[in-house]
C-alpha cells in the first residue's frame, strides 16, 4: 500500500523506520513545524522529520490541519491509508480522506488509558498490564474500532522509560502486521464498546500537568511509589523543602518498612534518604536538585552541608 505517515516524537520516528523497512511505500510524511527551543532559541526539528529527510520522503509541516493547501498536498501523495503515531488530533476531512481510512498506534490496551499520556498514567494508576493497540481513527479521540493489540505486564518497580521502550519495541511490529493484514483484506475490527463492562473500571490518560507531578507525601507509600516511577525519567515527579520553592526531582526509590516518620518528614542516615508517608516510609535512591544533574542519594547525602528539612 501507499502510506502517508503522521507523527512527531521519537516513538513515532521508530515506527516510521519500521514501515519504511516493510513492503509498503511511504509516499509522504506529516510532522510538527520546527520550533525554537532553549535559551539560545535554536531551531529544533522533530525526530520524524529527521527520518523523513534521511530517506528523502516528501514532507509537510502544517500549522493548521484544516488548511486547504495542506489537503491538496495530502491528495497529491495518493495514499491508500494514513498512519498516525503520537500526533495531533486530526479533523475528519483529513482522517476520512484515504480509501482505506486512517489507523493509529496507541500505547495502551484500549479502551484503557485513552489520552495523551497512556504510559505514565498506567503506572501512576498502579496498573499491572499495558501494551499497544492499533485502531481505526474516528471523530472522538482514541475510541475507534480495534484492529489488533498486544499485552505487556508492568513490573512492580518498572518506570515509564522502561515501559515506553518495551511498548515501542512491540508496537512497531504490531503496526506493520496490521498494515499487512489491511493490505491483504483480512482485517477484522472490534468495537471498543464491546470490551467495556461493569466489572472493570476504565481509566483515562490526560496530559501530564505540573500539579500532577508534585508528590503528595500524605498519600500512601504505594501511591507515592507509583507517582515517582510513572513520571521517571521524564517529566519527573518533584517535591520541595518546606519554606522553599526550589524543586527536587525524585527519579527513583523504593518502599521501606520504617514507620516512625510523619508524612513529608525526612531522615538522612548512612547516606540513605527516607521520607515519611501516611502509612509508612519511602526511600529515595535517585534525585535531581534544582540546577544540578541527577545523582544517586549517597552522592547527594555526602554533599549536604546542613540538615535537609522536610518535604511538603
Q: Are residues 56 and 95 in the same domain?
A: yes
133-154 pLDDT, tens digit each? 999 999 999 999 999 999 999 9
- 203, part of any domain: no
Give me the mean pLDDT over the 242-256 stretch: 93
Beta strands 129-136 and 272-276, pairing class: unpaired
Amino acid 259: pLDDT: 67
Q: What is the CATH number of the domain that holds 140?
A: 3.40.50.170
Q: Do 57 and 140 sit in the same domain of this protein?
A: yes
Q: Is residue 204 included in any domain, yes or no?
A: no
- Angle at which helix 160-184 crosses helix 10-20, to 10 degrees, equals 30
Confidence check: pLDDT of 4 > 70: yes
**Residues 153 and 129 sit within 8 Å (Cβ to Cβ):** yes
Q: What is the pLDDT of residues 169-179, one digit of tens each?
A: 999 999 999 99
Segment among 40-44, 106-110, 304-308 with least mean pLDDT: 40-44
CATH of the domain at 266: 3.10.25.10
Spatial separation of the C-alpha atoms in residues 39 and 56, rounded to whole Å: 31
The pLDDT, as a whole number, for residue 246 is: 86
Q: Do 165 and 59 fall into the same domain?
A: yes
pLDDT in tens, 185-230: 999 999 999 999 888 899 999 999 999 999 999 999 999 999 999 9
Give every CB contact of residue 225 below 8 A, 6+ residues apart in sequence: 253, 254, 255, 282
Predicted model pTM: 0.94
Mean pLDDT for the chain overall? 95
pLDDT at 301 over 80: yes
Together in a domain, 61 and 154: yes
Q: How far is CA 191 from CA 93, 203, 250, 289, in A?
A: 22, 18, 40, 47
Q: Does residue 243 surpass a pLDDT of 80?
A: yes
Percent of the chain whose predicted confidence (pLDDT) is above 70: 99
Strands (E), the chain: 2-7, 25-30, 35-37, 42-44, 59-60, 81-85, 102-106, 129-136, 146-153, 237-240, 247-256, 266-269, 272-276, 281-289, 295-296
What sign does the CA torsion over 255, 208, 50, 7 have?
positive
Is 149 in the same domain as 256? no
pLDDT at res. 41: 73
Amino acid at each position: 500500500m501507499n502510506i502517508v505517515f503522521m507523527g512527531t516524537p521519537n516513538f513515532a520516528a521508530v515506527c516510521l523506520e519500521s514501515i519504511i523497512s516493510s513492503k509498503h511505500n511511504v509516499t509522504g510524511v506529516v510532522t510538527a513545524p520546527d520550533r525554537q527551543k532553549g535559551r539560545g532559541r535554536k531551531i529544533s526539528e522533530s525526530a520524524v522529520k529527521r527520518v523523513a529527510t534521511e530517506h528523502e520522503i516528501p514532507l509537510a509541516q502544517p500549522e493548521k490541519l484544516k488548511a486547504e493547501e495542506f489537503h491538496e498536498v495530502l491528495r497529491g501523495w495518493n495514499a491508500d491509508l494514513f498512519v498516525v503515531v503520537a500526533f495531533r488530533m486530526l479533523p475528519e476531512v483529513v482522517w476520512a480522506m484515504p480509501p482505506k481510512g486512517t489507523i493509529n498506534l496507541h500505547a495502551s490496551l484500549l479502551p484503557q488509558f485513552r489520552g495523551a499520556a497512556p504510559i505514565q498514567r498506567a503506572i501512576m494508576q498502579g496498573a499491572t498490564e499495558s501494551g499497544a493497540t492499533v485502531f481505526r481513527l474516528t471523530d472522538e479521540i482514541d475510541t475507534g474500532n480495534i484492529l489488533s493489540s498486544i499485552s505487556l505486564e508492568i513490573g512492580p518497580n518498572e518506570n515509564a522509560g522502561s515501559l515506553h521502550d518495551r511498548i515501542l519495541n512491540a508496537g512497531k511490529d504490531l503496526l506493520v502486521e496490521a498494515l499487512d493484514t489491511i493490505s491483504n483484506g483480512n482485517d477484522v475490527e472490534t468495537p471498543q464498546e464491546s470490551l467495556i463492562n461493569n466489572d472493570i473500571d476504565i481509566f483515562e490518560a490526560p496530559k501530564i500537568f505540573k500539579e500532577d507531578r508534585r508528590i503528595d507525601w500524605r498519600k500512601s507509600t504505594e501511591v507515592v511509589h507509583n507517582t515517582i516511577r510513572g513520571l521517571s525519567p521524564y517529566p519527573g515527579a518533584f517535591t520541595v523543602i518546606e519554606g522553599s520553592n526550589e524543586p527536587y526531582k525524585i527519579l527513583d526509590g523504593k518502599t521501606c518498612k520504617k514507620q516512625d516518620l510523619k508524612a513529608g518528614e525526612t531522615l538522612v542516615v548512612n547516606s540513605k534518604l527516607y521520607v515519611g508517608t501516611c502509612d509508612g516510609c519511602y526511600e529515595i535512591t535517585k534525585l535531581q536538585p534544582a540546577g544540578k544533574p541527577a545523582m544517586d542519594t549517597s552522592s547527594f547525602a555526602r554533599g549536604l552541608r546542613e540538615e535537609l528539612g522536610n518535604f511538603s
